[in-house]
Amino acid sequence: MAARDPSESVPGRFDPFAWARRSTREVRVGDVGIGGANPIRIQSMTTTDTRDTAATVDQVERLAKAGCEIVRITAPSIRDAENLGPIRAALRERGIEVPLVADIHFTPNAALEAALHVEKVRINPGNYADKKRFEVREYSDAEYEDELARVGARFEPLVRRCLELGRAMRIGTNHGSLSDRIMNRFGDTPLGMVESALEFLDVCEAHGFRDVVFSMKASNPQVAIHAYRLLADRLAERAGGWSVPAYPFHVGVTEAGDGEDGRVKSAIGIGALLEDGIGETVRVSLTEDPVKEVPVARALAARYDERRPQVAPPDPGASYVASRTVHERRPTRAFALGPHPVGGDAPVRVEVDLGPVPADAPSAVEALAKGLGRLGDLACEGVSLDVASGSEVARARAFSEALRNLPGAPPLAMRISPDLATTLDGWADRLVLRIERPDVELPGRGSAALEWSFEAPTGELAGLVEAAFAGASPPDLVSFVGDPPTHALRLGVALLRERGLSLPVALRHRSDPFLDAEVGLLRAATDLGAALCDGIGDLVCLGGFGAIDRDVGVAYRILQGARQRTSWTEFISCPSCGRTLFDLEETTARIKARTAHLPGLKIAVMGCIVNGPGEMADADFGYVGSGPGTVNLYVGHDCVVRNVAETAAPDRLVELIRDHGRWVEP
Ligand code: SF4
């Protein structure tokens, strides 16, 4: 029997197989409560210069009118912090009551000033009282304690002021901007992020200050998921159990970028956490007008505000992953599907769910051929048809025949009820048997590869799996389709682990045609991304986005966002704020136009020199605003070109990529 996850041993354990919101205390931010029984709150941040009162007030008003419930404003200096007072007053004059948060990095004095004017202060434990120098040095225990005492002394005045004025605080850790002290002891890891936040919580709790919200952001959704989970575990341990209301979490993926990439990456990280019941307030960071972040955050949160806690299914006897806080792809045995191995070390395969059997096979294959022709470098590694009843068998055969005449046609899967399997053997490369009842008779293997698709509520899944594996020899591939999809899949995989079965798993997602296109994209990214970030999934079967090339494109975007299969350059771009030194949206678009064809390369585009270099995390090359009209270029964390004119910077970046042997011609 596989071991259960150690985090589940905390009293009143977190149940990964049944959705429920984490129990949290309410933290008031002005009139808006975060956590407790409140809905998930939506946040965003201004991008204006904080000293430009009129522009900032206008932007806050636009955000509030778009549905943003809490607005953050950067306060890089005391003068910026002082201007939060007039900003707040002007907003109240306009009847805008939205609570404000001051964003503080490096300037404790600005935090003290800001707390006089706004309802909440966000501090970054990595740079509240530390400068980042990327110094490698050993700290003895005594030196480490001295450092903690120094940081505590710098932080205490803010804690006392927040306590006195009834302000809330976010302890907002970012991967990539951890202090040298933490980096040297714990590394740039989820554990380091958690330890960094807890050091500051110790100071808060020592003063009896508990109006604290946490965040653990990273541009890599996997890192963010692991850090938030680890922190949830640690807080539950400190409190003495999962049922004790914990501090609320502000969840987000930082520097997610723009467009579809930014939305997919955000949905993967934020969605996976919301699937765990983690997240009491959400901020989606896009390199776009911040008003555009609001509907994305709202769409992500709405699904969980509506969701009711589930009844826990019977204990499967095993965890679904070896660890919930360390990424490891689930080990599986491979099988051949046409020219592509599936499972084992093979990349996660991409298959398109074509939906029902078409009435006119030749036209459907012609449309498929056109869609495949638009794919460019992306490979469609399979197509799948739903055969709903015996009356569709003849049409399914006609489609199969027409597809065989298409040169380079992808392998064909047919999803059918088990009693029809023999009628289609020889007509498909893979038969996908829908298993919805435990008493169904499963046919033996024919010439096609075999997938068992368990489709039932989570409470019935164990019975289905038990009956299927007791009565027939195992298939090549399995899938679990239930509601919510993440929990059905986890339970199914735990049932496989409990039996010691290393069968590859297909992740199936068909977008609901009645959903808004953006909401459909976010749901696909959440459902598939949450599994992929847990190391589960050997084949993704996706459909319903309107065109074959679109289905394939979305699948590859999700695989890239979950860091499972890289097809394009990875861009890490900050959302911009009042410190930004150039038009970030336009600059990111220009850099993308030159460098988007370099799969495997990570390029950061960051608005300022104060935070940018620290927060580029694991980027290979960095483009960072250093002053008005000037840019610094980085290779890893090393600044190699200083103050180059903005007009010349994209060319210099391309040169640098070339000099480091990472360039290929488009
Ligand atoms: S990196 Fe970007 S978002 Fe972060 S502080 Fe600088 S300009 Fe603002």
Structural domain spans, the chain: 22-303, 335-561, 570-659
Burial of 22 (0-12, 13-18, 19+ CB in 10 A): buried
What confidence tens digit (pLDDT) does each residue in 99-138 have?
999 999 889 999 999 999 999 999 999 999 876 555 656 7
Q: How far apart are the first and last CA of the chain?
A: 51
Residue with the nearest Cα to atom 1 of ligand 1? Answer: 612
How far is it, in rounded angstroms, from Cα 545 to Cα 170?
A: 38
Which phi and psi angles does 268 have, rounded to 5°? -65, -55
pLDDT given at position 2: 41
Ligand 1 centre to CA of 74 (Å) is 9
Question: For 252-276, b where at least 16 C-beta lie within 10 A, e where not — what string?
Answer: bbbbbbbbebbbbbbbbbbbbbbbb
**Which of 103, 105, 608 to mutate to test ligand 1, by most ligand atoms within 8 A of the CB atom?**
608
- Beta-bridge partner residues of 570: 602
What confidence tens digit (pLDDT) does each residue in 495-520 have?
999 999 999 999 999 999 899 999 99
C-beta neighbour count of 142 within 10 angstroms: 8
DSSP assignment of 66-133: HT-SEEEEE--SHHHHHHHHHHHHHHHHTT----EEEEESS-HHHHHHHTTTSSEEEE-TTTSS----
The residue type found at 211 is: D
Residue with the nearest Cα to atom 3 of ligand 1? Answer: 576
On the CB side of 231, CA atoms within 13 Å amount to: 34
Contacts for 348 with CB less than 8 Å, ≥ 6 apart: 532, 537, 538, 539, 540, 559, 564, 565
How far is it, in rounded angstroms, from Cα 431 to Cα 520?
A: 27
Ligand 1 centre to CA of 268 (Å) is 22
Contacts for 203 with CB less than 8 Å, ≥ 6 apart: 152, 155, 156, 159
- Percent of residues, the chain, with pLDDT higher than 70: 97
Ligand 1, residue 574: give the atom nearest the CA.
2
Ligand 1 centre to CA of 611 (Å) is 6
Ligand 1, residue 45: give the atom nearest the CA.
3
Query: What length does the chain have?
Result: 666
Which residues line the pocket of ligand 1, CB cutoff 6 A?
574-577, 579-580, 606-608, 610-612, 615
Ligand 1 centre to CA of 167 (Å) is 24
What confidence tens digit (pLDDT) does each residue in 147-201 have?
889 999 999 999 999 999 999 999 999 987 888 888 888 888 999 999 999 999 9
Ligand 1 centre to CA of 130 (Å) is 17
What's the token pair of residue 459?
């409470």
Domain 22-303 carries which CATH code?
Answer: 3.20.20.20
Question: Dihedral through CA 493, CA 299, CA 556, CA 225, nearest 10?
Answer: -50
The residue type found at 516 is: D
Q: Which CATH number fits domain 335-561: 3.40.920.10, 3.20.20.20, 3.40.718.10, 3.40.1190.20?
A: 3.20.20.20
What's the token pair of residue 235?
């807080």
Q: Provide the sign of the torsion angle of the four alpha carbons 186, 188, 190, 192, taken in this order.
A: positive
Check whether domain 570-659 has CATH 3.30.365.10, yes or no: no
Ligand 1 centre to CA of 318 (Å) is 43
Ligand 1 centre to CA of 402 (Å) is 54
Residue 606: its H or E element = strand 602-606
Ligand 1, residue 579: give the atom nearest the CA.
7
What confidence tens digit (pLDDT) does each residue in 450-468 have?
999 999 999 999 999 999 9
Closest among 282, 280, 275 to 296, alpha carbons compared: 282
570-659 shares the fold of 22-303: no
Contacts for 65 with CB less than 8 Å, ≥ 6 apart: none
C-beta neighbour count of 406 within 10 angstroms: 13
Average pLDDT over residues 364-375: 96
Ligand 1 centre to CA of 564 (Å) is 28
Confidence of residue 14 (pLDDT cuts 50, 70, 90): confident
Q: The whole model's pTM is what?
A: 0.94
Residue with the nearest Cα to atom 6 of ligand 1? Answer: 608
